[in-house]
Structure 1
């Protein structure tokens, strides 16, 4: 495999890598080589339209674009317009459906009350006081000290155990500072001024980015198998796991991954919403995605098929591509070692969720890439 002639090499074709590659090719007029381990661009944000149903399938779970950043919004709209979808999340607990995050409707439905915002706030303050937690020492205690045990046990505990495979009592307090609770009937999951789903899907965004003159992408490439063959003077932008880059010399970081079970169901509408969480511990999955709901502008009224994904979290084993960091205290200490080592590298930049060991949404990753481009 020939790598000569490339001054810029991007490892990983997710939003971080592709944003950098597109900017370098377009504004610097330089050739950029992108090395991607998967057989498609976009990393875990990739989507495609199912040929039979014309439903956009988010291959690695739901992705909803949202941001308050003008620069990011203007940048991403070069490649796609967005529809008017506004994300709402429902959760099942004891076979009853509630709205999330916890809001006035959730509170009134759960306690079978008709509180005003002021009354609901006072009621939860009393629930929190009854828990007698003055100095929270764990994830569980942080949340209980804000909303009390009843709401925590119903909506937070079981879901957290399934998502992290950890007892919330054992998770450190610094993981969450404050649980979002709304004392009104605002059911939107995000409050950002810019929101939506790409009209032609995420996959098309990545394809349009790759049409920039000067870009070349090669799929199914293991960077670690060919890194010694790359030009010595090339600038490398790496978006894989930071611990793997350094061959785990300071130890392995803790990661989580997701697994999905896909079904095509012979009904027009399976669950009536895009995402349904399962708060009960005895439900194996954390949530169910139904992708047809992400495009309210498309007419699926006569379609008697719908595509759903059941999702559950799992441990990431060495060699697997992780989805997000866990970030326990020991992980923070290990990451700082890797971060210091990365700062000593010449012409190598590590970024993205995996490269920075940080839970970032799509708009945050894009902004990081734009800011880095300004510096090179």
Structure 2
């Protein structure tokens, strides 16, 4: 079979590109090392519940064109992301808002909350923040930092907050309203019936063939010889055999459990912000789609240090790793007939809407068209 493109990875970037290439009459082969399509947005039905197998995925964007684009593949519900924090049994609303401040300090008005935060910032005697801890306190004060940020963040990144760069938390959502909606984006929701259907429809063209349980690196040289163009969405450093060194990633472990009860925690996402609890959050999947099934399915999410051979979930975008990535990016730009995309190929912590936008931009460049999103 003669193909125009080999796409390595059936996540959002690769599947969006495959879909658009097929629309333009191109024949596409998609390979994936996993036993299913969809990458990390894959959902699996368990006890009638669409389970997010690789962590919670809530689609949100301010881009009307991206929202319209993804809605052609699925109908989205009105789910609003309103996680809560559990600190040693104390429950707080997220993102940090007047409900959080009222629970912490008993304040009622935004002015009272601002005064409390400013008082704590002054008592900390901070200059220009040089690490995440100082940045967080400069934004929200010490009480919120110690109860709701420090433990969670150090578990998530596997480092002390004083060793993490300040930019990680620079866009910390802080609101002086009684609003528990985590995102400010205009468009938000969960696809009714799960995310896998989106990828399935993207790859449904007769011009697209999909091969699962297939490792690109087992036949890398052959693939490079046989295919005129490759869209690669794996780790960029692995593609180049780690010749400049290994980029750092964070990995995750998921423990999923079916419970013989109707409702376990009353919310889709509960973050555990103390240092002692080994997991960062528990997801109760039925609440993403307002489920009323007699049983429920929960997943505990454990952050892990990443080593070669582990599944990489997100990049460590600190100064050292970004500098190393730039070396690989220069090499990638000089590599003929290979386009690097997605979180791992571009070493970026992308949300879903950003992945789609990046893929559509790559499509526009590839086919010399004006970008539509």
TM-score (norm. length: structure 2): 0.95
8 Å Cα contact 1:241-1:354 kept in structure 2: yes
Q: CA deviation at 1:285?
A: 1.1
After superposition, give the CA deviation of every residue in 1:292-335 in whole Å (9 maximum; x if it has no partner).
10112x443xx1x1100011100111022200011222101100
Report the equivalent of 2:22. 25
8 Å Cα contact 2:262-2:292 kept in structure 1: no
Report the equivalent of 2:238. 244
| Distance in 2 (alpha carbons) for counterparts of 1:368 and 1:279 | 33
Q: CA deviation at 1:232?
A: 4.6
SS in 2 for 1:57: strand
Report the equivalent of 1:278. 272
Report the equivalent of 1:104. 98
After superposition, give the CA deviation of every residue in 1:163-220 in whole Å (9 maximum; x if it has no partner).
1110000112233324221111110111211111111211111111121220001001
SS in 1 for 2:361: helix
8 Å Cα contact 2:86-2:273 kept in structure 1: yes
| Distance in 2 (alpha carbons) for counterparts of 1:178 and 1:199 | 30
> Which stretch of structure 1 is more off in the superposition, 175-184 or 155-164?
175-184
Structure 1 runs of 4+ aligned residues shifted over 6 Å read none
Question: Across the two proteins, how many residue pairs are aligned to each other?
Answer: 365
8 Å Cα contact 1:67-1:363 kept in structure 2: yes
> Which stretch of structure 1 is more off in the superposition, 272-281 or 315-324?
315-324
Answering whether residue 147 of structure 2 is matched by residue 151 of structure 1, we say: no
SS in 2 for 1:261: strand
Report the equivalent of 2:369. none
Q: From 26, 42, 46, give the equivalent of 2:42.
A: 46
Change (3 A) 1:60 1:233: closer
| Structure 2, unaligned runs of 5 or more | 367-373
| Structure 1, unaligned runs of 5 or more | none
Answering whether residue 2 of structure 2 is matched by residue 8 of structure 1, we say: no
| Distance in 2 (alpha carbons) for counterparts of 1:259 and 1:37 | 18
Report the equivalent of 1:370. 360
Q: From 192, 209, 213, give the equivalent of 1:216.
A: 209
> Which stretch of structure 1 is more off in the superposition, 356-365 or 113-122?
113-122
Report the equivalent of 1:124. 117
TM-score (norm. length: structure 1): 0.95
| Distance in 2 (alpha carbons) for counterparts of 1:178 and 1:366 | 22
Q: From 115, 136, 141, give the equivalent of 2:108.
A: 115
8 Å Cα contact 1:125-1:146 kept in structure 2: no
Report the equivalent of 1:267. 261
Q: From 48, 68, 71, give the equivalent of 1:74.
A: 68
After superposition, give the CA deviation of every residue in 1:96-153 in whole Å (9 maximum; x if it has no partner).
1110111111011011x13311221122112111110011111111111222222111
SS in 2 for 1:169: helix
8 Å Cα contact 1:143-1:178 kept in structure 2: no
Q: From 339, 343, 350, give the equivalent of 1:360.
A: 350
After superposition, give the CA deviation of every residue in 1:202-243 in whole Å (9 maximum; x if it has no partner).
111111112122000100111011122224551110000111
1:139-178 aligned at under 5 Å gives the runs 139-178=132-171
| Distance in 2 (alpha carbons) for counterparts of 1:343 and 1:142 | 35
SS in 1 for 2:234: coil
Report the equivalent of 1:180. 173
Answering whether residue 62 of structure 2 is matched by residue 34 of structure 1, we say: no
8 Å Cα contact 2:5-2:227 kept in structure 1: no
| Distance in 2 (alpha carbons) for counterparts of 1:18 and 1:216 | 11
Aligned-residue CA RMSD (Å): 1.2
